[in-house]
Structure 1
Amino acid sequence: MPERVHERGPGQGEGAEQGPERPRGLRAFGLAEVYNRSMMPTLQPGDQLVVRYGSAVRPGDVVVLRHPFRQDLLIVKRAVRRRDGGWWVQGDNPSVENDSREFGAVPDELVIARAWVRLRPPRGVQRSVAGVASWAVSAVRPVRAVRSLSRRLRAR
């Protein structure tokens, strides 16, 4: 199944991410829904992302970008490093290769937003106060940049 993300908010039908003009103020933020397992365990299918359009990207950031070969397809990846020609992006799930290992560096103009917050919908019906509290604590999390893979491996 190809990876995709559904974008809601500025840019859908408005051309907000096209050209040098970027949305400002509240229009600079939008929602994206994750449909694929390529960013697991960080993101799961069904997660919603609050994204900021035109935000500066740094290595380790989770970004929404247009697929280089199918620009009507939006995907979510981690910006790993700068390369000649753009960003090298990869998913957090090593078994899914729909990333720069397949299509190379992504030009800057195809990177349209940076993820700020993950919103995780409830899985199933929560019948207890403890279940609701557990979901509420884990439902809203900032999407933090992974600065170093070695630091990430040491933490496990």
Structure 2
Amino acid sequence: MPERTRERGRERGQGEDGERHGLLRIGLAEVYNPSMVPTLRPGDQLVVRYGAGVRVGDVVVLRHPFAQDLLIVKRVVGRRPGGWWVEGDNPYVHNDSREFGAVPDELVVARALARLRPPPGAGQRSVAGLLSWAASAVRPVGSGRGPLGRLAGRSGRSGRSGRPERSLSRRLRAR
């Protein structure tokens, strides 16, 4: 099953004027499925940057090549003819480039900057539990550990062409 996300637009610098002045285009995406476990879990939020350059090791939000209204989260593991090779960090879920091949640049929506883990449920109110959550609630994601703990390289740097169309009030929800 694809890693579904829901994007919530929280952006600055919209329109040509904002891009001309180099303002950041930041948003949130919510993780729904386990294809990126252990890095990301269902319920995690991702702080993402639209239109950011992509390189090997980055976690990205992209449009599924066979269902482009479906947004998925994967890690970039290489550059191949036709685009980026992306895989989930969960070795038991194969809804990634092993199934659909390389992903063209124009389907990459955003690069993940940080993971926001939701607070523990009502059952975990101990001080130790809250301290443990606080220590791991916000973590950067991206270049670093790749699938199965392999260290991802830093080659294959590339920018995205074209600009994503977003607005503050627009919400995309994957099925």
Look up the match of 2:162: none
Aligned to 1:122: 119
Correspondence for 1:93: 90
1:3 aligns with 2:3: yes
Q: Distance in 2 between matches of 1:34 and 1:90?
A: 15
Report 1 or 2 for greater relative contact order, CA contacts < 8 Å, sequence distance ≥ 6.
2
Q: What secondary structure, in the 3-state scheme, does the structure 2 residue paired with 1:72 have?
A: strand
Which residue type is aligned with residue 59 of structure 2? Answer: V
After superposing on structure 2, the runs of 4+ consecutive aligned residues of structure 1 that deviate more than 3 Å are: 147-150
Q: Which sections of structure 2, spanning at least 5 residues, go unmatched?
A: 152-175
Alignment of 1:144 onto 2:142: yes
CA distance in 2, matches of 1:35, 1:55: 23
Distance (Å, rounded) in 2 between the aligned partners of 1:80 and 1:101: 11
Instruction: Look up the SS of the partner of 2:131 in the other structure.
Output: helix
Which of the numbers 61, 65, 78 marks the counterpart of 1:68?
Answer: 65
Partner residue of 2:34? 37
Structure 1 unaligned regions, length at least 5: none
- Give the corresponding residue for 2:43: 46
Distance 2:5 2:39 in 1: 15
TM-score (norm 1): 0.83
Q: 1:25 is aligned with what amino acid?
A: L
Give the aligned CA root-mean-square deviation in angstroms: 2.4
Identity %: 73
Contact persistence 1:59–1:147 (CA under 8 A)? no
